[in-house]
Amino acid sequence: MGKIALVFSGQGAQYPGMGKDLYENSSAAKAVYDMADSIRKGTSSQCFEGTAEELSVTVNTQPTVFTADLAAAEAVKEKGIHIDYLAGFSLGEIAALGFGGMMSYEDAFKLVCKRAELMDNAAKSTPGAMVAVMKLPPEKVQEICDGIDECWPVNYNSPAQVVVATNKDNVDLLIQKVKEAKGRAVALPVSGAFHSPYMEDAAQGLSEYLKGVELNAPKIPIYANYTALPYEGDYKSLIVNQCKNPVRWQVTVENLIAQGVDTFIEVGVGKTLTGLIKKINKDVTAIKVENTEDLEALSAIKE
């Protein structure tokens, strides 16, 4: 058997009731929710009882998805699954930093709350949007973006899916250009142009905030969105640059596979990463874990 990578889901897959099953059935998962509630009162009830609209607000989305991610990861650990590598998509990377021992869970949760606040403020100051582009190669998506002011590929998700960030006024033009190129485009329900130059103020705020945060060397190799390589060197710059630069997910997955990973376990919310991984390489195993039924299915890969 090859190596196992734990991957942490990102913003966008959240839904009312997320994580409740694990909270009720895993003591390790419950401890994560209790930790979050001790810092940000009502986080667990927001996960379990919040409306879809409430959960879509960035300052709520990031702390709740982070908590669901980390709780699911702890439940996997509780099952005795050995993990060789870690990676997270966007805010999922912060959960990976906590799980990988680079900071305490408390510090990681406080960081994600601050990150959400800063990114929300940046989004409000410069109204942006994000559009998923399918059925076109990244090179063609880049070509389309080059022809539109303030338009950038920001999530390189798979060979046939790239998410673009742009000014809100450009969305209709972008979708039209994608259709003309025989691709498909879908506007995403997010409140800003994340991972783009519009997040410069958020990045500066993160840099300032991180001056007061101590980071340790990772206990498990963690792949960074910014480089698609393991965390090394200036850890804080990787966190800062991540929020204003593209998520290089496809290359990250390819690099993990090159290291011998043949099993990916997506923890947290939904199965977005599981689907993307299978599109990147159909020969690997990709499993989601967001409830106890999913946990039981892991027995087949336990060493």
- Choose the catalytic residue: 9, 44, 195, 196: 195
Catalytic residue among 26, 90, 158, 196: 90
The Cα–Cα gap between 5 and 10 comes to 16
Active site residue 90: yes
82 counts as catalytic? no
Tell me the C-alpha distance between 232 and 14, whole Å. 30
Q: Which residues are CB-neighbours of 49 under 8 A, at least 6 positions away? A: 16, 17
Q: How many C-beta neighbours within 10 Å does residue 122 have? A: 25
CA 263-286-235 angle, to 5 degrees, is: 70
Joined tokens for residue 290? 């967001």
CA atoms within 13 A on the CB side of 93: 25
Q: Are the CB atoms for 150 and 165 separated by under 8 Å? A: no
Structure tokens given for 219: 């206990």
What is the pairing mode between strands 261-267 and 3-8?
parallel
Is the separation of the CB atoms in 12 and 43 below 8 Å? no
Task: Give the CA distances from residue 28 to residues 7, 32, 73, 191, in Å, rounded to whole numbers and listed in that order.
Answer: 18, 7, 9, 32
The helix (H) or strand (E) run that includes residue 252 is: helix 249-258
Q: Which residues are known catalytic residues? A: 90, 195
